[in-house]
Amino acid sequence: MELQDIPHARLANQHISSVISSGPVEVVRSLGALQAQMYKDALWAVGLRCKDTTQSKVEDAIVRRKLIRTWSMRGTWHLVPPSEVRWMLSLYPDEPIPNYQRKNGLTDQILERGLEIIRSAFKDNEQLTYKEIGSILAKSGIKELKMMEVQRHITRRAGRKGMICFSGYVGNQPAFRLLEAMIPKTSQYGRERSLAKFARVYFDSHGPATFSDFAWWSGLRMSEAREGVAMIKSGLKEIVLSGKSYWAPKKGRLPNRNESSEYLLPSFDEYVISYSDRSAVVRPEDAKKIINGSTLRFLPTVISDGNVVGTWKRLSHSNKTVVRITPFRKLTKEQKLGVRETANRYGSFLESEVVVEYTSH
């Protein structure tokens, strides 16, 4: 394997170039977890890896609790199979309150009190929205500076502790239920087995990748990441390229360097976000172009030959969807045909007509 093979191997192992036919649940299970910070984008992250599915089918899997959206790795929204939620959350001890939240007025005492208030609130309510939780916290006396940020942090902590999880939308408001009401009790694994399971699913689905990539994706300490990898090393192969060790499954899907397919990836897609070093798929001069500087949001990207060649945005109209492409460099006729094909697939997923437009960066 050479450096230029890495993108194609990742496209295959992440089921972008080798889509799954068995449905949305198996897509997420194969990846271990899938970042779902932007809800609609997360639906497409599942859809692009799944054969012949639609946005409504992916959302139905969430509504039917076949997939759980919660704060797992890095304290960020992810889609996780129900059977995997509890052991994943168990790997993360209570982290200290970040400095920016302390500046907002949050203290350890307020956090503990807020968590108790949320727990009590669900004794009388099956489901609560962000707004309703915030109102309950405010009425209970938690009226610190930048109240909304503090309240949302406390709510997120409740999810990290396995108390609550996402249950759907009420209007445009995310809603939550108790985790124990959403999914039945599942078996807990010991710490070592959990670390090994985490490492195995990451390298199987995201390899070739480095130890640092795994530590970044999982949110584990480097020592824990190495411990997890050590337990599964017999199932991995080491690939040394330019003096750097990459690890991939011994039975991983074969990369096809001749593949020239184009893909429209959503914001925060695993193909881009789940590596600490993204230089294998993003040129250094393009790295800042895929991030919104004001919000630090990873933008939706256009992939060609395994590399990021531009960004895109979705504009919805009453009877059609516009996909507006901003290429980093001039695209060839063949690349534009590939973009048109993947846009058509996106339209099938949305069950909408799609129009492709181009703009300059």
The predicted-structure confidence for 78-91, as pLDDT tens digits, reads as follows 999 999 999 999 99
- Mean pLDDT to the nearest integer, 43-70: 96
Confidence class for position 146, pLDDT limits 50, 70, 90? low
Confidence class for position 294, pLDDT limits 50, 70, 90? confident
pLDDT at position 358, please?
96
pLDDT at position 258, please?
56
Q: What are phi and psi for residue 147, nearest 5 degrees? A: -55, -45
CA of 138: how far to CAs of 134, 164, 175, 211, in Å?
6, 19, 18, 43
CA-based radius of gyration for the chain: 21
- Mean pLDDT to the nearest integer, 38-66: 96
| One-letter amino acid for residue 3 of the chain | L
Q: Report whether 277 contacts 316 (CB < 8 A).
A: no
Is the confidence at residue 316, as pLDDT, over 70? Answer: yes
Q: Report whether 128 contacts 122 (CB < 8 A).
A: yes
- Mean pLDDT to the nearest integer, 153-177: 95
Q: Report whether 229 contacts 236 (CB < 8 A).
A: yes
